[in-house]
Structure 1
Amino acid sequence: MSDKYLTVSEVADLLGMLKENVLRMAQHGALPHPVTINGEPHFPEEPILRRCEEEDDAIPSAGVYLSTGEDFFYYKVVKASHMLFYKNWPFAVFSLWDESLHIRPWLTHLVDDLPDHETILLSCEDANIPEVSLKDLPQPTSIVWGYRSVGQYDLDVTVAASNVSH
């Protein structure tokens, strides 16, 4: 483990954000708690660099921070890579940073049902992505053909990819 520490400015530069946001993220647990060196907050280098590597390896490199009063939430943004039509309705095909493939209704929304993954924000704002057929895709890790709250999809049955557990 490295004994090296980074200043707030160095962390802000590495993560591409304002210094105030670095301190806010640390306050809410999204970054490690800083230690005080010479009266100034410093962050351990190793977890910050690891976070940078994880974000570089991730398909999305952006995220959204949401605050509700004192609670603070961070959601990675994943963009749909393809559009798939099922029963004449559009669905988003997207991959996560572990290269797992997922299919969800074409809708920009929080996806909190991913097997063994954190909640993400699925972005379906780009309507100019290529269309794909289900048979042309590699085996998806999960498929959800609709959500009851959306109302426009046939939601009596949630279909999973074969050999996929939710």
Structure 2
Amino acid sequence: MAKVVAKVRGYFGGEIREPGSIFDVPDDLKNPPKWTRPYSFGGKGDHDGDGKTGGSKPAEVTADQSKPAGPVVVPADWRDGKAADRKALAKAITGENVANATEADRIIAAYVEASESERGPFADAPAPVTVTGNGVAEAIGGVQPDWIAPGSTGETGDDI
């Protein structure tokens, strides 16, 4: 697999790729999409996210540095809690120690706002009602014949 970077928005591999997204294309693909360019790291910098430049290996993550396993439940009255409780809640959200209560309040407020925006505006909307067919046949009392002979009453035994 060869890594490429999307230059513009495009569709590949069943997904819409935004500009700047990095993804893999098969090596046996003769011509990769024209809207991509080959991915290369391109020099010095922190390529592996450990804060060191060059060919460093990432540092081992300890249990204290790891992120929480699941979503954190924030009580509705979190602002009324003690500073130590708010700092502990912020630590549960970020996985890092928080310096003061003001920073903890900022972290908790941002977390609450982000979790509310993930729900979306119609998260509590009722499920859509599904109707079999298009409803016309039920409204007119069943399936109607394509053609009725002149002088016929439309009954099945009244055919010409």
Tell me the TM-score range normalised by the shorter chain.
under 0.3
TM-score, reference length from structure 1:
0.23
TM-score, reference length from structure 2:
0.23
Structure with more relative contact order (C-alpha pairs < 8 Å, separation 6 or more): 1
Computing the radius of gyration over CA atoms, which structure comes out larger, 1 or 2?
2
Which protein is richer in strand relative to its size?
A: 1
